[in-house]
Amino acid sequence: MITPPESPGPDDPARDTPPERFPAEAVSIDPDYSTRDGYRADFLDHRLPLPGHQAWAEVASAELTYHHFSIVMHRRRRLALYTAVNIDGRTATRPSRDSDRWIIDPRIPRAEQTNDDLYRDNALDRGHLVRRLDPAWGPVAEAANDDTFHFTNATPQHHDFNADQTLWAGLEDYILHNTDNRDLTVSVVTGPVLHDEDPAYRGVAIPRQFYKLVAMVTTTNRLTVTAYLLSQEALLEEFATGPEEFSFGAYRTFQVPVRRIAALTGLELPAHIAADPLDRLGPTALPREILRSEDILLIS
């Protein structure tokens, strides 16, 4: 976990940089952000609040609300501390993906989020933290889809890694459609694990690991939250060998106790921990490598 730095001083450019302004034609979404409802803690009928981030209070942004999801940024790292999305499989749609036109969020300074400079002329992709289709449900499905193309929702991932996450990217879908899910609804918290030792590239430290917390309510009205850790330690070991060099290997997905995610990230997750089936197993709850969706333990 990164040691929380001191708050920006009065001469820190990250504090004084004004919000980015854009001509109307450069914005492909509704510029009235007051219409965004963000993540709903009561979406599953069992209150599941956003993660607490008191350890990061001095570097965390305010909650940025979008259609059906919210993001809290780490202002110094220029990446999300976490994202949280509500998914309704009953009214989900599949808007087309015409292009990857990403947008700076004008509500926070440009210096506190990444932009195209990080991804230009290299093998890095803008990886979605909130998946494009996750918030695309209900009357605002199209607008919610577009909202996921804010740079606040992007995390740098190698192209090969980003393009071959079949298991990781499908966790929500499996829990939504192939389990004892009462209402075909889930809430998901996703983010990078931010370490001081993450390799720097073009002024941005590239995360080595990512996590997901997937919550659902069973047909017996039981809230269950499962946690997953995607480790790309091996992928990034030689990442910083040169300014433009990449060396990537295999990555692995694990189901881990929610407590493990709390320890790795410094986030406060008491409600998530209380609903974790691995936590109920006690000391025997070792990380479980997930090789296929059926390996997931949902209820104990």
| Higher pLDDT, residue 237 or 121 | 121
| Higher pLDDT, residue 101 or 294 | 101
How would DSSP label each residue in the chain? -PPPPPPP-TT-HHHHPPBP---GGG--S-S-GGG-----TTTTSS--PPPB-GGGTTTBPPPEEETTEEEEEETTTTEEEEEEEEEETTSB----------B--TTSBGGGS--HHHHTTSSEEEEESS-TTTT-BGGGHHHHHHHTTBGGGEEEEEHHHHH--HHHHTHHHHHHHSS-BSSSEEEEEEEEE--TTSPEETTEEPPSEEEEEEEEEBTTS-EEEEEEEEE-HHHHTTGGGSTT-------EEEEE-HHHHHHHH--B-HHHHHT-TTGGGGGG---EE-SSGGG-----
The chain-wide mean pLDDT, for the chain, equals: 80
Query: Region 11-38: what's the mean pLDDT?
Result: 57
Tell me, what's the pLDDT at 167? Answer: 62
- The pLDDT-based confidence of 5 (bands split at 50, 70, 90) is very low
- The pLDDT-based confidence of 13 (bands split at 50, 70, 90) is very low
Domains of the chain, CATH where assigned: 29-295 (3.40.570.10)
Q: Position 230: which residue type?
A: L
Whole-angstrom distance, CA of residue 85 vs CA of residue 209: 20
Mark whether 74 is an active-site residue: no
Residue of 128, 150, 158, 272 with catalytic role: 128
Tell me, what's the pLDDT at 19? Answer: 35
For residue 109, count CB atoms less than 10 angstroms from its CB and return exposed for 0-12, middle for 13-18, buried for 19 or more. buried
Q: Is 122 annotated as a binding residue?
A: no
Whole-angstrom distance, CA of residue 195 vs CA of residue 210: 11
pLDDT, tens digit (0-9, with 9 covering 90-100), for 203-260:
999 998 899 999 999 888 999 999 998 875 544 444 444 443 333 334 678 888 999 9
| Higher pLDDT, residue 248 or 54 | 54
- The pLDDT-based confidence of 192 (bands split at 50, 70, 90) is very high
| Higher pLDDT, residue 2 or 171 | 171
| Higher pLDDT, residue 190 or 242 | 190
The CA–CA distances, whole Å, from 279 to 214, 226, 259, 283, 300 equal: 14, 10, 8, 8, 9
